[in-house]
Amino acid sequence: MEKTINAHTDQMVDVLLARMSVREKAGQMTQITLDMLLVGEMYQVEEPHRFDEQKVKTALIDYQVGSVLNIAGKPYSRDEWLDVISHIQTTSINTSRLGIPVLYGIDAVHGTNYTTGTTLFPQEIGMAASWNPALVKAAAAITAYETRACGIPWNFSPALDVSRQPLWPRFWESFGEDTYLNAIMGQAMVEGYEGDDLSSPYQVSSCLKHYIGYGMPLNGKDRTPAWIPERFLREYYLPPFEQAVASGARTLMVSSGEINGIPTHANDYILKDILRDELGFEGLVVTDWEDIKFLHTRHRVAADHKEAVRIAIKAGIDMSMVPDDFSFTDHLIELVEEGQIPESRLDESVRRILRLKFELGLFDHPVLRDDANYDAFGSQAHRQTARQLAGESITLLKNENARLPLAADTKLLVTGCTANSMRHLNGGWSYTWQGQETDTYTKGELNVLNALRAHSGEALVSYVPGCTYDQVLDLDEVRQAAAQVDHILLCLGEETYTEFHGNMDDLNLPAAQVELARAVIATGKPVTLLMLQGRPRIISSFVDDLESVLLAYLPGNEGGNAIADVLYGAVNPSGRLPFTYPRYANALVTYDRKFSEISPIQNSRTCYDPQFEFGSGLSYTSFAYRNLWLSQPQIQATDTLEIRVEVSNTGQRAGQEIVQLYLRDEYASITPAFKRLKRFRKIHLEAGQKEVISFTLYPEDLCFVGHQLEWIMEKGSFTVMVGDQQNTFELI
């Protein structure tokens, strides 16, 4: 049946493609931002927003633009979105020569985050901290539902940037530093977005981003060069994309960076040889914002914009996110007319674009299907899933003397720069690009302070700001308030940002926040540190003097409630770090370090000493591991290996444990990592309950990318690690 549907779709695409002119084909490959259709200037659209019909005619009729994206500076309600999408589609279908619908795309990266009244989830780094792919898939399905309810069928998500450079300002848009965790979570999101039938009124097309190596800029700044050997690129950065492609992802966005001196948008080896030929990707490849222009203006591999268009199209780009003029379209038409690009090359890209539009059902239902029902839009059930995911992401990193959870009658002082704002719960890509106006659009939602007061009552929860992000306020007021309470919740972290606006030079917290921390510690009252942040900010100068530490990442609109749930024990924390939390700003070593990074020479200071290790996190109960069993002590290259371990809840309350299986190749021709994550499972155990957990390792789990850039395995000893248990086997 699937092949029949695909064959029918391809037949319709071929019929339509045969009727198209070069100008219409170039238009289909053009994507502009919504600002280009509205009254006003780019980035300065007039209020209230309304269409400039001459601009609409120029874009959709004269240029036959195939795709529109983005918001115009503010979020819309669902009804407003439907009006916008309906007008665009009606114009394109009813007025253009061939009646081709527009493909509208949006960055719905943690829920339908550019629409009011929707469900916002934790950002990806928090999703990863849940280590719960089933719950992440459910969140993605809700996002698809609420995005498609707005008439938008294309979501620029998930981000599969394996992020191994914590300075990078898009760190929180990723699933962290590990390849395998990125692959599993990415697959879950693709499946949640696209479902089994892309034409369903409740699904959207996913868009894998940012292909490839984007998460490892050498200097930590956004859109700056990466230097990644191809062997490393293939072993660490490619697998999440490979798995997502195998899961059926329909589209892919190209990284704005460059690798080893070659901009990704100009790299036909990466875009064709690897992506198309090796991974078998058949879908649509779209640029990121202005990136073809940047081949000329930033990367300087093209002498002018026209040359940049030629390079990018020949490299394998299907659609240009231009996004603010029609220069790409004009240049592309000229290049075809001059014989520099064959029309058949345009046919390849337009065929992919049209196929996606047919698969999404846009030709039959360009806005909404008549039989679609969106009664659950922004519903309490959806919000409950968001609250659960936020709760499962929160990571308890320290809890000396079992200081948490708090007793119900605890007198609590809340202080710090992230306590009294919805903005700090959500981060960037929230209602607006940088997320600064989140509080404007979340009236009635509960930030950390208000959620705690809703739980315990205002009489038990006092508040003194203490500091802004980088300025100390009245510390005497903090000290006086501290004298009246039993416990202090110190809320520190980051302002909202994304992309290059989040570039920074120092992972240390601003001095003002450190000063507040030292002031509340000096009161002698028990202090819990709550971090709301998108990347690990250094806390080593004061963390040893704290009894408890909670990392909540960027947990979304339900984050305040989830934090209250964890603080007071309604939820037993089960989040685990998806990255290595550094102790020092210049000691950025990932968990899968090499032995040379941790083996001192002649009493040198070489060591691995993070603040908190990848995969770590505490619970209000305790777990014990016993009897790590391997099915055989020796295996051959084609064998599978069965692994079992007994996990027990040895504490006094129910809890969730993340059983993590690591593998170490003891000796190899390419220096092996100390350990690599190969499997994990999140389990629930009642107090006193035990369970035997089983995993299977396959031959490919023993492989690495060798000198010839191919996956190979070598005979020798391997160590399996689960919890505090270890066992070994031989590959013979």
pLDDT digits (tens, 9 = 90+) for 302-327: 999 999 999 999 999 999 999 999 99
Return the closest-CA partner of residue 317 out of 345, 342, 338, 339: 345
What is the residue type of 529?
Answer: L
Q: Rounded to an integer, what is the distance from CA 303 to the centroid of its chain?
A: 34
pLDDT band at residue 2 using 50, 70 and 90 as cut-offs: very low
> Worst-scoring range by mean pLDDT, 125-139, 470-484, 564-578, 589-603?
589-603
pLDDT of residue 294: 98
User: Could you identify the residue written with the tokens 């990318």?
Assistant: 705
pLDDT band at residue 601 using 50, 70 and 90 as cut-offs: confident
State whether 323 and 442 are in the same domain: no
- Give phi and psi for 546, each to the nearest 5: -105, 145
What is the residue type of 645?
Answer: V
Q: Which residue has the higher pLDDT, 598 or 566?
A: 566
**Any domain includes 371:** no
121 touches 127 (CB < 8 A):
yes
Q: Which residue has the higher pLDDT, 211 or 4?
A: 211
What six digits make up the tokens of 367? 């806005």
**Any domain includes 274:** yes
Return the closest-CA partner of residue 249 out of 158, 153, 319, 179: 158
State whether 630 and 557 are in the same domain: no
352 touches 284 (CB < 8 A):
yes
**Any domain includes 691:** yes
State whether 64 and 117 are in the same domain: yes
> For the packed helices 327-337 and 305-315, what is the interaxial angle rounded to 10 degrees?
70
646 has a pLDDT exceeding 60? yes
Residues in the chain: 732
**Any domain includes 630:** yes
State whether 255 and 338 are in the same domain: yes
The one-character DSSP state at 339 is: T
State whether 343 and 394 are in the same domain: no
d(CA 590, CA 597): 10
3 has a pLDDT exceeding 90? no
485 touches 411 (CB < 8 A):
yes
Residue 299 to residues 110, 209, 372, 504, 721, Cα–Cα distance (Å):
31, 20, 46, 21, 44
**Any domain includes 605:** no
User: Could you identify the residue written with the tokens 């007021």?
Assistant: 477
Q: Rounded to an integer, what is the distance from CA 76 to the centroid of its chain?
A: 23
Bond prior to 158 in cis (omega within 30° of 0):
yes
Other beta carbons within 10 Å of 382 = 23
d(CA 704, CA 722): 21
The count of structural domains within the chain is 3
Give mean pLDDT, residues 426-442: 98
> How many CA within 13 A on the CB side of residue 466?
32
pLDDT digits (tens, 9 = 90+) for 664-721: 999 999 999 999 999 999 999 999 999 999 999 999 999 999 999 999 999 999 999 9
1 has a pLDDT exceeding 60? no
pLDDT digits (tens, 9 = 90+) for 514-556: 999 999 999 999 999 999 999 999 999 999 999 999 999 999 9
210 touches 197 (CB < 8 A):
no
User: Could you identify the residue written with the tokens 């014989």?
Assistant: 339
Give mean pLDDT, residues 381-386: 98
> Worst-scoring range by mean pLDDT, 108-117, 121-130, 501-510, 596-605?
596-605
What six digits make up the tokens of 194? 């696209």
Q: Which of 107, 288, 291, 318 is catalytic?
A: 288
First to last CA, the chain: 44
State whether 458 and 575 are in the same domain: yes
Q: Rounded to an integer, what is the distance from CA 79 to the centroid of its chain?
A: 28
Residue 483: which CATH number?
Answer: 3.40.50.1700
d(CA 299, CA 383): 43
Instruction: Return the bridge partners of 251, or none.
Output: 207, 284
Boundaries of domain holding 251: 2-359
DSSP, residue by residue, 262-330: EEGGG-HIIIIIIIIIIT---SEEE--TTHHHHHHHTS--SSSHHHHHHHHHHHT--BEE--SSSHHHH
- Per the annotation, the verdict on 701 as an active-site residue is no
State whether 206 and 87 are in the same domain: yes
- The residue from 292, 324, 359 where one domain ends is 359
Give mean pLDDT, residues 378-386: 98
DSSP E strand boundaries for 52-184: 67-69, 103-106, 154-155
d(CA 142, CA 125): 18
282 has a pLDDT exceeding 90? yes
Q: Tell me the percentage of the chain whose pLDDT exceeds 70.
A: 99
Residue 134 to residues 138, 186, 327, 656, 696, Cα–Cα distance (Å):
6, 11, 44, 14, 19
**Any domain includes 607:** no
**Any domain includes 372:** no
Q: Please give the mean pLDDT across all residues of the chain.
A: 97
Return the closest-CA partner of residue 313 out of 279, 266, 357, 347: 266
Residue 339: which CATH number?
Answer: 3.20.20.300
d(CA 301, CA 692): 57
The pairing of beta strand 412-415 with beta strand 461-464: parallel
- Give phi and psi for 462, each to the nearest 5: -100, 165
Q: What's the Rg (C-alpha) of the chain?
A: 26
pLDDT digits (tens, 9 = 90+) for 325-347: 999 999 999 999 999 999 999 99
What is the residue type of 516?
Answer: L
**Any domain includes 236:** yes
pLDDT digits (tens, 9 = 90+) for 192-212: 999 999 999 999 999 999 999
State whether 84 and 38 are in the same domain: yes
User: What percentage of the chain's residues is helix, strand, coil (to nearest 5)?
Assistant: 35, 20, 45
- The residue from 324, 359, 394 where one domain ends is 359
d(CA 594, CA 458): 51
- Give phi and psi for 365, each to the nearest 5: -135, 80
State whether 40 and 180 are in the same domain: yes
| Burial per residue of 485-520, b for 16 or more beta-carbon CB atoms within 10 angstroms, e otherwise | bebbbbbbbbbbbbbeebbeeebbbbebbbbbbebb
State whether 247 and 349 are in the same domain: yes
d(CA 614, CA 178): 9
State whether 300 and 338 are in the same domain: yes
Residue 681: which CATH number?
Answer: 2.60.40.10
pLDDT of residue 602: 83
Instruction: Return the bridge partners of 642, or none.
Output: 696
d(CA 472, CA 282): 54
103 has a pLDDT exceeding 90? yes
Q: Rounded to an integer, what is the distance from CA 674 to the centroid of its chain?
A: 26
State whether 543 and 681 are in the same domain: no
pLDDT of residue 4: 44
- Residue 613's contacts (CB-CB under 8 Å, 6 or more residues apart) are 577, 580, 581, 591
d(CA 187, CA 204): 15
pLDDT digits (tens, 9 = 90+) for 250-281: 999 999 999 999 999 999 999 999 999 999 99
427 touches 496 (CB < 8 A):
yes
d(CA 578, CA 574): 12
5 has a pLDDT exceeding 80? no
d(CA 254, CA 317): 9
Give mean pLDDT, residues 102-124: 98
